[in-house]
Structure 1
Amino acid sequence: MYIITGTPGVGKTSISKLLGSKIDAEIISIGELVEKENLHLGWDDKRKTFIADLNAVSKRLKEIIKLGRKNLIIEGHYAVHVVPPEKVAFVFVLRKDPRDLKKILQSRGYHEEKIKENLAAEILDVCLFDAVNIFGEEKVSEIDTTAKSLHEVMKEILSVIKGEKKPKVGIVDWLGMLEAEGELDDYLKDF
């Protein structure tokens, strides 16, 4: 089983679909599961999203894993918090340059507060930190999707799955990059 995680807008859903078709894996989108099966605590008006019930999601995923296929891809920005670590071969944390990510989130119609929160999460490595903390560096592979095609990203993922490359973290430093370019305050001034 594999997890594909990262800040909203980095390409999780697209990569999961492409990879799933390549390795004949069933894809479970955590966000869709929460909505379809009412695994939430209610609606967050501020963020315009459901508040996932992580315990209920985790319990449901364990049931799906028991019944389901061996080859699963679990996709979502909080997937690392609801999947049993012992069942996971690798966690792929997708990353994207915050300047590009901002444009994607704006094109999706996200409100300004939600964009700021997601950009801060990307800059501060939140998804990567959580993945490494829960699964350990040996299972986590950080992949910069900036200016890469879906096929290029999939090839990187497949090289780890096939054992051709070891998982690697620490490949991007958005905080350092934005600070060096004098843009950090533009992204984190409200935090």
Structure 2
Amino acid sequence: MSIVITGTPGVGKHTIGKELAQKSKLDIIDINEVAKNSGLFEKNDETNDVDTEKLQEILKEKISNRCIIIGHLAPYVLEKEKITKIIVLRRSPYDLIKVYNERGYSDKKSKENASSEILGVITYDAKNQFQDKVVQINVTDRSIQETVDKIKSVISGDMNSEEVDWLDLVTKNNDLKKFFVD
């Protein structure tokens, strides 16, 4: 069983993944750590670019049948055959902006990440790569334990994907300019 926890930066992937791994007694593979330790990060303005083809090759060797794989790059570097479920954590863009401010992200980087969450970019890309293995979970008003319990329900087949539509929420609040880069 290889479970992937992915989502936009700031949704809680590492927090949830570590808790789930501890309770499930599964190993963790942190995609960013693998890339960093393999020297695959290349600084580019405020971001780190990654050679996804090389990272994909490295990860092929590291993935076992009993692990939790964590990272926002998952849809771009993992193969469908090696994955049991891919959990996309979703979080309100209003919450994410606060997280990014706490992390010291620039306004541009904050908006890029929040707009990616609003548009569901990682969800879309995960569904293209993993089809029916993808499940979305809205973590906005959930505790860590509630989220872990939801993931366990997904793994056991007792829960389906949640529908998440931040674009509708942001549009209704007339906040498109707040989140999208000019």
Shift of the alpha carbon at 1:143? 0.5
- How many Å separate the matches in 2 of 1:187 and 1:109? 16
- Tell me the number of residue pairs that the alignment of Structure 1 and Structure 2 aligns: 181
Q: Does 1:186 align with 2:178?
A: yes
> Is the CA contact (8 Å cut-off) linking 1:4 and 1:94 kept in structure 2?
yes
- How many Å separate the matches in 1 of 2:40 and 2:66? 23
TM-score, reference length from structure 2: 0.95
> Is the CA contact (8 Å cut-off) linking 1:11 and 1:94 kept in structure 2?
yes
Match of 1:157 among 151, 162, 167: 151
> Any gaps of 5 or more consecutive residues in structure 1?
none
Question: Which runs of 4 or more aligned residues in structure 1 lie more than 6 Å from their structure 2 counterparts after TM superposition?
Answer: none
Q: Does 1:88 align with 2:77?
A: no
**RMSD of aligned alpha carbons:** 1.2
The Cα offsets for residues 88-133 of structure 1, whole Å up to 9 and x where unpaired, read as 1101000111001100011011111111110110011001000111
The letter of the residue matching 2:21 is: G
Identity of aligned residues (%): 39
The letter of the residue matching 1:162 is: S
Match of 1:61 among 56, 59, 68: 59
Aligned to 1:26: 27
- How many Å separate the matches in 1 of 2:73 and 2:62? 17
> Is the CA contact (8 Å cut-off) linking 2:112 and 2:181 kept in structure 1?
no
> Any gaps of 5 or more consecutive residues in structure 2?
none
> Is the CA contact (8 Å cut-off) linking 1:58 and 1:83 kept in structure 2?
yes
Shift of the alpha carbon at 1:185? 2.3
Alignment of structure 1 residues 64-83 onto 2, 5 Å = 64-65=62-63, 69-83=64-78
- How many Å separate the matches in 2 of 1:163 and 1:98? 28
